[in-house]
Amino acid sequence: MSPQEEIIALTAELNRHNYNYYMLDAPVISDYEFDQLLRKLQDLEVQYPQFVQPDSPTLRVGGTVTKKFESVAHRYPMLSLGNTYSEEELLEFDNRIKSIVNQDIEYACELKYDGLAISIWYENGLMTRAVTRGDGTKGDDVTANVRTIKSVPLRLQGSGYPDFFEVRGEILMTFARFEALNKEREDIGEPPFANPRNAASGTLKLQESAEVARRGLDFRLYYVMGENLADTTHYDSIRRLKDWGFRVPDVLEKVSGISQVIDFMHKWDVERKQLDFPIDGIVIKVNRFDLQQQLGMTAKNPRWAIAYKFKAEKMSTPLLSIDYQVGRTGIVTPVANLQPVPLAGTIVKRATLHNADVMAALDIREGDSLFVEKGGEIIPKIVGVDLDKRLPDAHPVAFVTHCPECGAELRRNEDEAGIFCPNEMHCPPQIKGKLEHFIGRKAMNLDSLGEGKVEILYDCGLVKNIADFYDLTFNQLLGIEKRFPAEDGKPERVVSFREKTVENILAGIAQSKQVPFERVLFAIGIRYVGETTAKKLARFFKNIDALSAATREELMEVNDVGDRVADSIISYFNNPENLEIVIRLRKAGLQFEIAEDEGVVSSDELQGKSVVVSGVFTISRDDIKKMIEQHGGKNVSSISKNTDFVLAGEKMGPEKRKKAEALGVPIISEEEFYKMIGAI
C-alpha cells in the first residue's frame, strides 16, 4: 500500500471509530488502540503532508494559529429569536400565526441550548466553513477551531445531501468540562469563567486551535438550510441529518397546538435539572417549511419561531459567615456559608464569592441576606444582596489581610484579580495542593496515592514537598491509618496502608520515573504554567537546564508565554528551595529532558542549517519545527546573519521579513520547504 493509500485508509477507519464513539456512543476499539492508529496517521502526515485528507481526524487535535478571524458574509441572514417568559405571550404567538395562515398549526419543540450560535457549511459532503452569528449579516470565520469539535462531522456519510447546505446550532460546554476547566484556571491563578456559555464563547475565539481541542467543546444542531432540501418539515429535515452522520437532538417533538407546547415547556422546566449541558429555555417552531415561508421574517426575528426562556430560580438566604480558602498557587478564595436553602432540586449551603473585587461589587455587609441563583447552571451563584433585609448601620465585610492558614501578609499583583499568600513553600494548604497536583492524572498520574493518602502522608510528616515521594520506604508506610469523620451525608471512612496498598504506592512512584518531561514540567507546579504551556516550554527548550537558564526574552519567544508567565518561571528557578527540589527529583530519576526518540533524524538535508519559522502553516508550527529537526536542521528564534533561511507561512511577521531582506537571508515557502526535504 502506498503512503497516500495508507493515509486515506487510516483517515476513513479513524473517522468511523470517531462516529461510533461520539455519535452512536458505541465504541468498538479501546482508547489505546485508537490513539495508536491516530499516532500512525500523524507520523505519515508529517512525512507526506501533500496527502493529508480534508477530513483527517488529526484536524481534531488542532495546531492552527489564527491571529485574526476573517469576517464572512452569511449566505442566509442569521437572525435571533424573539423571547418570552410567559404562557400568555405563547398564546399570543399562536394566535398571530393562526390569523395569518388560517389553520391549526403543528409545532416542533426543542431545547434552547445556552451556547454560542454557529453556522457550519457543507459542500459536496465536506465541512468547509464555520461562521459565528456576528451581527446576523456577517460573522467570524472560526473554521479551524470548529474542526476540533468531535461532534461536528468533517465528511458526511450516506447520500442524497445537497451540493451545499448549512447546519446551524450552538457551540456549548458541558457542566463537567466547565467545572474541570474552572478548576484548572483557579489552579494556575486565572479567574474562573462565570458560566458554561462564557467558557464556550471564550474558547471558540482562542487563537490556537490546539487549546480549543483540549477544552472539549460540544456542538448541538437545531436547524438546516439549503436550496434543495428533500424534506418539507423542520422535524423531518433534522431527523434526516442522522443519515448523513450528524448527532441529532435527543429532544425534538412534534406537537399539535399550543396546549401541547405548554405541556412540553412545563416538562422541561423540571427535567432540565437532569441534563449534563446548559439550556435556558425551549424553542417553538412552525414545523412546515411552506408555512415558515408564508410567515416570513421581521427585520430581526423569524415570525414562525419563538423562544420561551425559563426564569432563573433565585432565593434569598442569610449569610452566616465567610471562609477564606487557600489554593495550590496561594490564591485566596472567599466562600459564603449560607443558611441552607432549597434551590433547583438541591440544598445550597455554600457558594463562592470568587475574589475581593466581586465582594466589593456586591457590597456585602455583616448580617446581609444574599440572593442565590442556579438557573440553567449547575453551580450556585451569588447574584446580589437582599437590601430589604439589610440591617441599619451594617458594616461592609472586609477581605482578610493575612493568610488564614499561615498568617503571612497577603499580596496582590497589579492587573490581577486574585489576592494570594506569598508563603508558598510553608503554607499548609499550598503544600498539600502542590502534592495533590503533582500526583494528578495529567501530571505524574500516581493514582495509587489518591483517596486522601497524600493528606495522610503530609499529616504524618512523611511528605512535605514533591521530592519526598521518592524517599518513601516500605517500612515507613506500612501500618499508617487515618479515620475520616462523616460529613455532608457521607459516611465515616478509614484509610489504611496495608501491605498491598504500600506495594502499589511504591510501584506507582517507580513507574512515574518514565513520565515524559513535558508532564513532569507541568507537575512541578510553576504558577501560571498549565498543561499546554508546559508542553510548549518542554519542546522549545528540550531540557530543564536550558529552561532554568532562559532569560525573560528567550522565554517570551515561546508561543503563548507572556510577561506574567515568563516572570513566574524566572521566580520559580530563582528560589533555592525549588532548585533543591528539582535536583532531588533529578537524582531520583525523573525525566527532565525530551526523550531521544522525539529527535530522530530522518535525513541530513538540513544538516547544520539554522532556520527561523514565521507565519501560519497548513500544519502546526510545532510539527514544522519537528520536521526541521528530523532532517538535521536547528530551529532558532531570531534572524541574524548566521540564519540559513526563513521558512515563511501566511501572515509572516513584517518586521522579520524586513530584517531577513536587509540581511540577505533567503525566505522560502512551505511548498519549497517540502521539496527541499524530499516530502514532495
What are the residue numbers of the active site?
A: 112
Strands (E), 558-660: 610-614, 634-635, 645-648
β-sheet with 332-343: strand ranges across: 346-352, 332-343, 314-326, 369-373, 381-385
Reading the block at residue 13, the C-alpha cell is: 477507519
Residue 275 near residue 137 (C-beta atoms within 8 A) = no
Q: How many CB atoms lie within 10 A of CB 51?
A: 19
Residue 408 near residue 422 (C-beta atoms within 8 A) = yes
Residue 424 near residue 336 (C-beta atoms within 8 A) = no
Pairing of strands 419-420, 411-412: antiparallel
Helical (H) or strand (E) element with 14: helix 3-18
SS3 content of the chain, % helix, strand, coil (to 5): 40, 20, 40
What is the spatial distance between Cα 174 and Cα 112, in angstroms, rounded to a whole number? 14
What is the spatial distance between Cα 128 and Cα 166, in angstroms, rounded to a whole number? 10
DSSP 506: H
What is the spatial distance between Cα 121 and Cα 164, in angstroms, rounded to a whole number? 7
DSSP H helical ranges for 122-252: 143-146, 175-187, 196-204, 209-215, 234-240
φ/ψ of 330, rounded to 5, equals 90, -5
Residue 220 near residue 112 (C-beta atoms within 8 A) = no
CA distances from 320 to 54, 340, 346, 369, 410 (A): 58, 10, 19, 9, 24
Helical (H) or strand (E) element with 220: strand 218-225
Residues 6+ apart with CB under 8 A from 578: 524, 572
Residue 374 near residue 313 (C-beta atoms within 8 A) = yes
CA distances from 501 to 453, 465, 498 (A): 10, 21, 5
Residue 351 near residue 382 (C-beta atoms within 8 A) = yes
